[in-house]
Structure formats: structure tokens, C-alpha cells
Chains A and B, each alone.
Chain A
């Protein structure tokens, strides 16, 4: 089973600032990595797939990078609606599909 590890657990950022979230896989997942955003009481929403491709309707301030075992989600200028929990997920080697434990982006 591929273990996904996200850091940090919590990121405190001021509105308008840049946020950088990390995700590490226990073995290579190539570029088969997705990022999801989840707000309280809501379902997860797909942000990024293929490590760097934005899903339909996702603003350009969200960008993904990386391949192999190291991945990054960058939010270039945080808006109020971006404060949420973010999960990475690998779909390269499954079952099982595995998710990271999440990074909570909170208002500083």
C-alpha cells in the first residue's frame, strides 16, 4: 500500500498571501496524483489531477507540481473561500486508493 504523507498538518496564512502544501508518496506514483479541497460540512471537490492539471472551473491561482514521490499544491493569493482542508490522493498503484491525512489552511 502506498502511504501518502502531507505537510504541514496546519498552515496559517493571511488573505492575499501564498500557500504551499506538500504531499509525499512512500513510492513513486508517477504523475497519478490528485488534490481535493474540502470545506466544513461539504463533500471534497477535485482541484488538480495528473499532478498539475486543473479540474474544470478551478481558478488559476491553484497550481500543482511534482512527479514521482514529491508533490506541491500552491495557492498563489489566498482568498477567503480558500480556507479549507486539502487532501492529496494517489491513483497510480491501487487498490487501495490512498489519501494523505490532509492539510488545514486557516486564517492567520
Chain B
């Protein structure tokens, strides 16, 4: 069974940093690209970042470019999102999702709240 479990969310002050993790199991993690997608409270889905299976290709949404860094450790079956210079508008539930062109499996999400 495919499982994706996010962790690392919490309350952080504006300008602060947070590192999210996503632990994958039930599939060959190293064979799949991965995405982070976020959802602000009461709002729709917003794609954040993509990383290919070998980390050779990485993309970011303009809204996070230069502030967020996606990475992965295939030996640990883990995906990461380092978030720096956080803003109030980054407040959202962050989901990791397996990429098969579309997003076929999603984690349960981790809430990031940016507030003073």
C-alpha cells in the first residue's frame, strides 16, 4: 500500500524557517518524481514544487522561488521542503504527492501557520 506521511509543520513567525518532510513507503520511491502542493485555509490547491526521481530536474512556483528548496533522499525514501523567509501568505496545509504526470497518491498533509 502506497503511503506518504508528512511532518514538520507548525507555527512560525514571519521571516522564519521550517523544514517539512515526507516519508514514503509501499512503492519504489527512487523511481518516481514528487511534488509539494499546498492549500491555504478555505482555499483551493496550489502547486509549490517538483523534483524528478534523480533530483536532476527541479521546478518551483513563482510564489516560492528563491525562498523554498525541495530535495529528496532516495536511500531514506524521503522528500523534503526547506522553507525560508516565510510569509503570512505561506500559511497552508502542505501535501506531498507522488507524480505520475498527474498526482496519484497524496499524503494527509501538514499544517504550516506563519503568524506573529
* Interface residues on chain B, size class: 20 to 34
Q: Can you list, as one digit per residue, whether each of B58-83 has a CB less than 8 Å from chain A (1) or not (0)? A: 01111000000000000000000000
Task: Chain A residues near B35: list those with CB within 8 A.
Answer: 97
Q: Is the CB of A43 within 8 A of B108?
A: yes
Q: Once the chains bind, are B45 and A44 in contact (CB under 8 Å)? A: yes
Majority secondary structure, A binding face: loop
> Cβ of B59: which chain A residues have Cβ within 8 Å of it?
94-96
**Is there an interface contact between A89 and B102, defined as CB atoms closer than 8 Å?**
yes
Pick the contact of B95: A32, A43, A102 (CB < 8 A).
A43
A43-B106, A43-B108, A45-B106 known; A99 and B101 CB under 8 Å? no
**CB–CB A87/B95 < 8 A:** no
Asked if A83 lies at the interface with its beta carbon under 8 angstroms from chain B, I say no
With A98-B47, A102-B44: A43-B109 Cβ-Cβ less than 8 Å: yes
Q: Please, which residue of chain B has its CB at the minimum distance from the CB of A44?
A: B106
* Complex: chain A residue closest to B60, CB-CB: A95
Q: Total interface residues on A, using CB and 8 Å?
A: 22
How many A-B residue pairs lie within 8 Å, measured between CB atoms?
56
B103 within 8 A of A: yes
Q: Is the CB of A49 within 8 A of B106?
A: no
Contact B102 A49 (CB under 8 A): yes
Give the contacting residue for B102; candidates A34, A42, A98, A101; CB below 8 A: A34
Which of B60, B61, B102, B109 makes the CB contact (< 8 A) with A91? B102
Closest to A35 in B: B102
In contact, A96 and B47 (Cβ under 8 angstroms): yes
Interface residues of A in 76-108 (CB under 8 A from B): 87, 89, 91, 94-102
- Mark out the residues of chain A between 27 and 47 whose CB falls within 8 Å of any chain B CB in the assembled complex: 32, 34, 36, 42-46
26 residue pairs of the A-B complex, CB under 8 angstroms, read A32-B101, A34-B102, A34-B103, A42-B108, A43-B108, A43-B109, A44-B95, A46-B103, A46-B104, A46-B105, A49-B100, A49-B102, A49-B104, A89-B45, A91-B101, A91-B102, A94-B59, A95-B47, A96-B47, A97-B35, A97-B50, A98-B47, A99-B45, A99-B47, A100-B44, A101-B44
